[in-house]
Chains A and B, each alone.
Chain A
């Protein structure tokens, strides 16, 4: 029926030559980095690549399995990072010892009460109030209550900032923050998905782009919660840290934790992909109308897959933040945390988990190595320019050179879409019937 797909259909029992070659190439690259940069640096790179692989798996099920484009990976990563920080760092006695927690709790109660009142107002029409009047009452109530609550909140948060710095953490095990990070990211994904998934796919991209900027703005400006631009560090690790066992070993231990996580996620995703649920998801992606005609609840399935992807991004973001041992809301950039992940997925093979992991590791190595390379090339150009015609280089050349990477990522996206739309390891689409 579909002739274009023929080349991507794997023959049963085919020897995975392509996979082996590509992973061998990655292995060679990794060994090369180890030889040049040393084990501590290289292990660090591998752990970060592993964290990105979790993010990429989240995106590959959204984009590859279901055709949903999430342009705000950064936001979910940041949420995960926040949770990792909030749950794991030590308790701030200056905050908990004062009367501020009570006041904050009071404001939070106000918030809940106000939300309930507004929600109740939306139900006024059941009591016989005309619908227009109900809407007017609801909007008025919402505005007034919002102003009251936000003012109360501002008062308390100002107090917290001036007297305790910030509210600190909960001092719980690292894993708790990772799990809650996933749950929180999934919750935000649920909200966005409910609004957008019944509409054109473009709207989801716009909304996710927006929520990512909002999450970042919130984390960056809520000094009482996150210390904002002052950043929080160090974050505890789930394994012995560098201070106890040295950099290389500590990072290797962390790497094994992430490797176990990836293996577990990979296994579960493969099961889901081949289960009836996964088939249904792909049926919806490939032909929405006929899937709907067969009586599938399209929007529900779409919502499930989108939330699942967001959960993975939240977990990946949490693991990444813990590893960096620092929570810096300003460090979350669309380029590093959205588009880099996108490149990993579309280059590796959207919908192919193995391809996605390959893409994540390969692209991350290139990404990390491109920084010194770009600077080196720039210095070369400056030296040549000065020598050849007395060119006076601009002073902020370093920051400009790094912008070249932005260009390259963009170029890579457009080229892959055009020349290898199914990635280097394409999804193996089996024909049904």
Chain B
């Protein structure tokens, strides 16, 4: 039974945490893809920027959370989301819109977004340095240990306070996005434009507005994803290239242009990562007697070491591109 608890801690909880972060990031990527038809490579650094804004605000107002009984970082998150959304809209105006107006191929926008990612990286590191920093400045990270009511179980299920917030915020973000896309006028117009941009324009939908709304949402979600990631571990300014691959893999697994698919894809990639680095020999321990010797001898039955984690999203990406390039939910764009 202790092995099961170990499994819950290392796979179920860790996978959900990673999956939530990837899911929120992938939704932003897939929305941008469905409206502007290019893979936004600056998304990882937009996430970092959001987290950095939270870090700055928390440093400036360390006591903000005390009034509500939650970490200051969470109270200041909406403000950081707004700033990141503003940044996203500004970047679009300054860099992507002129390129779109020239009628360039989508791949040129991809290169442009790589330029933007470098600029953001440079700026963030210039101001934040290159080392990791905790977003918990004045607050203490609570750790909950839930003992399971079974006989012989000594190890508790461990879950930290930021992880609980993370699940709640992910749920709120996904439900909120769903309501926005299915109920609101702008949300429906976004789906319409993703279906058929020419017809959307012929219907009188102002496509510039929709583009701006897309950036606001993508920026806001990026700030959430980046902050949650930094709350769970620490704020690191140089994560972006390691985030991009799993996020893109998640968006493509879910079918590009398909927001709910991106959520599912995020969890697929997140769990695949944790399952791949999990040491399966732990689970085999209780059955040691009945297993062949070569299997029990092996001390480490993980598929890949943690240092090769990045292979997992790449492997998923290659498999999905070979097997079903439209993704498991049939995306709109391949």
Chain A interfacial positions (CB closer than 8 Å to B): 67, 69, 71, 146-148, 150-151, 154, 195-196, 199-203, 205-207, 209-211, 213-214, 217-218, 220-221, 334-335, 339, 342, 346, 394, 396, 399-400, 403-414, 417-418, 421
CB-based contact B110/A69 at 8 Å: yes
Indicate whether A206 sits within 8 Å of B245 (C-beta atoms), given known contacts A151-B300, A410-B117, A413-B111: yes
CB-based contact A414/B107 at 8 Å: no
CB-based contact A410/B121 at 8 Å: yes
Question: Would you call the interface of chain A mostly helix, strand, loop, or mixed?
Answer: helix
- Complex CA distance for A366 and B125, rounded to whole angstroms: 21
- Complex CA distance for A151 and B294, rounded to whole angstroms: 10
CB-based contact B311/A217 at 8 Å: yes
Top 4 nearest A-B pairs by Cβ distance? A410-B118, A407-B122, A413-B115, A406-B122
Chain B interfacial positions (CB closer than 8 Å to A): 38-39, 41, 95, 98-99, 102, 104-108, 110-112, 114-123, 125-126, 129-130, 241-242, 244-245, 248, 252, 294, 298, 300-301, 303, 305, 307-308, 310-311, 313-314, 317-318, 321-322, 325, 333-334
With A202-B39, A206-B244 already in contact, 15 other A-B pairs whose C-beta atoms are closer than 8 Å: A67-B107, A71-B41, A147-B303, A154-B300, A202-B110, A211-B314, A214-B314, A217-B308, A407-B126, A409-B118, A409-B122, A410-B116, A411-B115, A417-B104, A418-B99
CB-based contact B317/A414 at 8 Å: no
CB-based contact B241/A396 at 8 Å: no
Most buried by B among A210, A394, A396, A399: A210
Instruction: Write the nearest CB–CB distance from A107 to chain B, whole angstroms.
Output: 14
Instruction: Write the nearest CB–CB distance from B141 to chain A, whole angstroms.
Output: 26
- B115, B119, B130, B310: the one contacting A399 at CB < 8 Å is B130
CB-based contact B112/A403 at 8 Å: no
CB-based contact A213/B242 at 8 Å: yes
Instruction: Write the nearest CB–CB distance from B42 to chain A, whole angstroms.
Output: 9
In the complex, chain A residues whose CB is within 8 Å of the CB of B245: 206, 209-210, 213
Interchain Cβ contacts under 8 Å between A and B, 30 examples: A151-B300, A195-B318, A199-B321, A202-B38, A202-B107, A203-B325, A206-B244, A207-B318, A209-B41, A209-B244, A209-B245, A221-B305, A221-B308, A396-B129, A403-B122, A403-B126, A405-B122, A406-B125, A407-B126, A409-B118, A410-B117, A411-B119, A412-B115, A413-B112, A413-B114, A414-B95, A417-B111, A417-B112, A421-B104, A421-B108
In the complex, chain A residues whose CB is within 8 Å of the CB of B307: 217, 220-221
Indicate whether A342 sits within 8 Å of B107 (C-beta atoms), given known contacts A205-B39, A207-B317, A411-B119: no
Shortest Cβ distance from A405 into B: residue: B122
- Complex CA distance for A399 and B128, rounded to whole angstroms: 11
Instruction: Write the nearest CB–CB distance from B53 to chain A, whole angstroms.
Output: 18
Question: Would you call the interface of chain B mostly helix, strand, loop, or mixed?
Answer: helix
CB-based contact A151/B298 at 8 Å: yes
- Complex CA distance for A401 and B28, rounded to whole angstroms: 32
CB-based contact B107/A205 at 8 Å: yes
CB-based contact B126/A404 at 8 Å: yes
- A146, A196, A404, A414: the one contacting B115 at CB < 8 Å is A414
Indicate whether A214 sits within 8 Å of B311 (C-beta atoms), given known contacts A151-B298, A201-B105: yes
In the complex, chain A residues whose CB is within 8 Å of the CB of B244: 206, 209
Shortest Cβ distance from B325 into A: residue: A199
In the complex, chain B residues whose CB is within 8 Å of the CB of A221: 305, 307-308
In the complex, chain A residues whose CB is within 8 Å of the CB of B117: 410
CB-based contact B310/A195 at 8 Å: no
CB-based contact A195/B322 at 8 Å: yes
- Complex CA distance for A99 and B195, rounded to whole angstroms: 63
Shortest Cβ distance from B305 into A: residue: A221
- A67, A211, A400, A414: the one contacting B116 at CB < 8 Å is A414
Indicate whether A417 sits within 8 Å of B126 (C-beta atoms), given known contacts A214-B310, A217-B308, A412-B115: no
In the complex, chain A residues whose CB is within 8 Å of the CB of B129: 394, 396, 399-400
- Complex CA distance for A168 and B98, rounded to whole angstroms: 53
In the complex, chain B residues whose CB is within 8 Å of the CB of A200: 106, 333-334
